Amino acid sequence: MAVTGVAGFIGSHVAEALLDAGADVVGIDAFVGFHGAEHKRRNLAGLLATPGFTFHELDLRDADLDSVLEGVDTVIHEAALAGLPTSWADVDAYVRCNVTGTSRLIEACQRRGVGRFVHASTSSVYGRDAVGDETQETNPISPYGVSKLAAEKLVQAHVVVNDFPATILRYFSIYGPRQRPDMAYRIFIEALLSDRPLTVFGDGRQSRSNTYVGDCVDGTIRAIDGGHVGEVYNLGGGVSLELLEAIDIIAQTMDVRPRITYSPGRPGDQRVTSADFSKARETFGYRPRVKPTEGLANQVRWVMEENAVKVA
């Protein structure tokens, strides 16, 4: 099996789970992003020491992918340039990473006869409000969301025209250990560790269908054999939290009192996400198990351990 974006937040967890299940994993990553590569290299360290794992540092936009995919039967495509706010500043980078990179990967998979392709997408394709099942209208409001929807459409075009064996998963607000440095919960935890005020964009009442990374990984792996070709599936956590509620859980876990400052909302931010994942549940048995109190506590512990390593 191959996992793109293997050094990223979700990709590293997916690769670990596959290795734990006895699979050989080919990992691909280019360490692309606006928040540096140091954290990705730490994500990768444990994988590099695991038997059955092979790593290739290469960029989907221009690298020779055929040789890397030789003998690979399944590709889980986690690689993407992420982040809603930053996407406004460099639209071209998001198009080249998320659309061009995906196109070249699909073409290489077809040449190599890859038998299964799982494409990781996002609730951002729905737009400001992502509430309901997969039939809701897609109306992204950020260049990031637009690029991810374009990648979905490209995958689906290959399914129709070339019988490409792909399934699409739309992730809803993934959190937990290894969350990217630019994501809200990670920022809040690190600010509270340093006794700094938290900046909330908007009124703090925006809500998310929080999905713990372990549940996301379970759903992704189930979709390899259980997802239907050409279909799209929501993966959510089953519990929606307002941002201020999440901050309260984090602060209680850390036994601190947060100081909050408010700034205007950012262009492209979603207001409400609430995933209906009944299609994934009925098709391949997806059932999220980790509640926000447990998942956020796990993330707090991980961030504290990471900061202890940096200080040492």
Query: By the 8 A CB rule, do 99 and 151 touch?
Result: yes
Distance between CA atoms of residues 87 and 94, nearest Å: 7
**Catalytic one of 126, 144, 171, 233:** 144
Task: Please name the residue that has the structure tokens 């099996």.
Answer: 1
The encoded tokens of residue 215 equal 């549940």
Q: Is 144 a catalytic residue?
A: yes
Q: What is the DSSP string of 88-140?
A: TT-HHHHHIIIIIHHHHHHHHHHHHT-SEEEEEEEGGGT-SEEEESTTSPP--
Which of helix, strand or coil describes residue 249?
Answer: helix
Q: ∠244-213-296 over CA atoms, to 5°?
A: 35
Sheet with 166-171, edge to edge strand ranges: 53-57, 25-29, 2-4, 74-77, 116-122, 166-171, 232-235
Task: Please name the residue that has the structure tokens 């990709």.
Answer: 11
Distance between CA atoms of residues 43 and 95, nearest Å: 25
Q: Which residues are catalytic?
A: 144
